[in-house]
């Protein structure tokens, strides 16, 4: 049955606000990195670990999250978790040591772990499946707005307050969004609500034993993890150390990258929906975008500083293609398994993003620091490793596709 525009907005807007905050938390350290390093005194590896703590706690809850979303629905689960994110923001704002910052950021990651998957689950429950890629794209655009806010607006906020004041404000906003999701979003009972916990776990096993899942998951995982790790932290230091930009120029470029992300989420989701009506699978659009993102990352790894701004803008646009596999997977399994299919992929993505963000810092730290920051050669080596891993996953995607089409002999 068609739903009214008002009901659509009641479903979409609160979840969009949640994902806005999630992405703001995720990427804010790209601008705050110099402040955090100066106040706490951490090396590149420590900075990578601090920022990546968000990813590991986020990932740790993904499989239980899938069960909870399928059993209890997205509204109650996300609202409750955002209370933990708010607590994490307050802890982060008051921390005086690296350990305290890691604990606060870990709580934030855990608390926002449902912001995307809960929305995807709600959209599957409420909207026709052919609209899912486009609606998912709108949701991701809300995240892009969060990434945009984490650039020049945060830099401007630092002229009024410090990073502690910024995180205190974020904690208050998070409490408000939690209330909006709980009290504004309508409830729709899921068909798996009467299943036992054992049935729910068997559903996870069904997803993880599917060749359709494992054909897509490695490439989607490494593509998105690389994008999250670099765009969420190492893009800012690269612009400073390789391109030689000052702080306002770094913030301005990251602002442009965030705008490109918003455009990518909106355009690629809409293109995938329209092409699917003509028989072109959304995964084909995703593959084309991920190949383009790999090519751009290759140029960035080579240190093409003269083209820094257009390359990073194109990286922001093409990197959004790695979200399309979520819509593909949600349509590849029965409705009652859609939450677990997407959270299984999200688990892999955020474990990989944690590993990538920390490891990139560790590789960069192998080179002696320069007078202004980190050695440019370290970025090239670290980004090159991530590019090689993506290339291997892309080859597996094509090979596994041939195996699936050929079938058992």
When the pLDDT of each residue in the chain is averaged and rounded to a whole number, the result is: 87
Task: Please say whether the dihedral angle defined by the alpha carbons of residues 102, 103, 104 and 108, taken in this order, is positive or negative.
Answer: positive
Topology of domain 5-184+196-404, CATH: Growth Hormone; Chain: A; (1.20.1250)
Question: In angstroms, what CA-CA distances link 279 with 196, 273, 283, 303, 362?
Answer: 38, 10, 12, 39, 45
* CA distances, 106 to each of 55, 227, 231, 361, 408 (Å): 8, 20, 19, 18, 45
Least confident of 39-43, 58-62, 313-317: 39-43
pTM: 0.77
Q: Would you list the domain boundaries of the chain?
A: 5-184+196-404
Amino acid 189: pLDDT:
66
Give the least confident one: 7-16, 269-278, 280-289.
Answer: 269-278
Please answer whether residues 315 and 257 qualify as being in contact, where contact means their C-beta atoms are separated by less than 8 angstroms.
yes
Identify whether the C-beta of residue 178 lies closer than 8 Å to the C-beta of residue 74: no
Let me know: does 40 contact 137? Beta carbons within 8 Å.
Answer: no
**Dist CA 173 CA 167 (whole Å):** 10
User: What pLDDT, on the 0 to 100 scale, is given for residue 224?
Assistant: 93
- pLDDT higher than 70, residue 1: no
- Read off the pLDDT of residues 154-197 as tens digits, 9 standing for 90 and up: 988 999 999 999 999 999 999 999 999 999 998 876 555 555 55
pLDDT band for position 409 (cuts 50, 70, 90): very low
81: which 2 tokens? 């978790």
Q: pLDDT tens digits, residue range 228-253?
A: 889 888 998 999 999 999 988 998 89
pLDDT at 192: 53
Range from 22-26, 205-209, 326-330 that averages highest in pLDDT? 22-26
Residue 396 and residue 390: Cα distance in Å, rounded?
A: 10
Q: What is the DSSP string of 72-101?
A: H-HHHHHHHHHHHHHHHHHHHHH--SHHHH
pLDDT at 195: 56
């Amino acid at each position: 049955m068609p739903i009214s525009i008002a009901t659509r907005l009641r479903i979409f807007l609160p979840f969009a606000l949640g994902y806005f905050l999630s992405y703001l938390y995720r990427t804010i350290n790209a601008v705050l990195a110099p402040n955090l390093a100066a106040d706490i005194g951490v090396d590149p590896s420590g900075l990578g670990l601090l920022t990546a703590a968000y990813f590991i706690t986020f990932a740790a809850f993904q499989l239980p999250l899938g069960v909870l979303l399928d059993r209890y629905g997205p509204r109650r689960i996300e609202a409750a978790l955002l209370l933990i994110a708010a607590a994490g923001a307050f802890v982060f704002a008051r921390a005086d040591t690296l350990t305290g910052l890691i604990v606060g950021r870990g709580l934030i990651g855990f608390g926002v772990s449902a912001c995307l998957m809960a929305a995807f689950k709600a959209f599957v429950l409420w909207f026709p499946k052919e609209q899912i890629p486009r609606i998912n794209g709108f949701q991701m655009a809300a995240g892009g707005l969060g990434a945009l806010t984490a650039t020049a607006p945060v830099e401007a906020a630092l002229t009024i307050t410090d990073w502690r004041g910024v995180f205190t404000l974020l904690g208050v906003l998070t409490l408000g969004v939690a209330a909006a999701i709980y009290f504004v979003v309508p409830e729709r009972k899921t068909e798996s609500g009467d299943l036992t916990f054992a049935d729910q776990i068997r559903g996870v096993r069904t997803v993880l034993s599917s060749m359709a899942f494992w054909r897509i998951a490695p490439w989607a995982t490494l593509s998105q993890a690389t994008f999250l790790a670099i765009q969420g932290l190492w893009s800012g230091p690269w612009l400073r150390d390789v391109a030689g930009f000052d702080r306002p120029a770094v913030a301005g470029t990251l602002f442009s990258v965030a705008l490109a992300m918003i455009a990518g989420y909106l355009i690629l989701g809409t293109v995938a929906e329209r092409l699917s009506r003509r028989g072109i699978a959304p995964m084909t659009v995703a593959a084309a975008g991920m190949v383009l993102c790999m090519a751009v990352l290759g140029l960035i790894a080579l240190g093409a500083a003269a083209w820094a701004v257009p390359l990073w803008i194109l990286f922001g646009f093409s990197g959004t293609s790695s979200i399309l596999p979520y819509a593909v997977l949600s349509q590849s399994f029965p409705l009652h398994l859609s939450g677990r299919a997407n959270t299984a992929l999200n688990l892999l993505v955020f474990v990989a993003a944690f590993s990538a963000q920390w490891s990139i810092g560790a590789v960069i730290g192998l080179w002696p620091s320069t007078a202004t920051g980190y050695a440019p050669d370290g970025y090239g080596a670290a980004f090159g490793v991530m590019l090689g891993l993506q290339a291997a996953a892309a080859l597996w995607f094509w090979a596994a596709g041939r195996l699936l089409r050929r079938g058992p002999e």
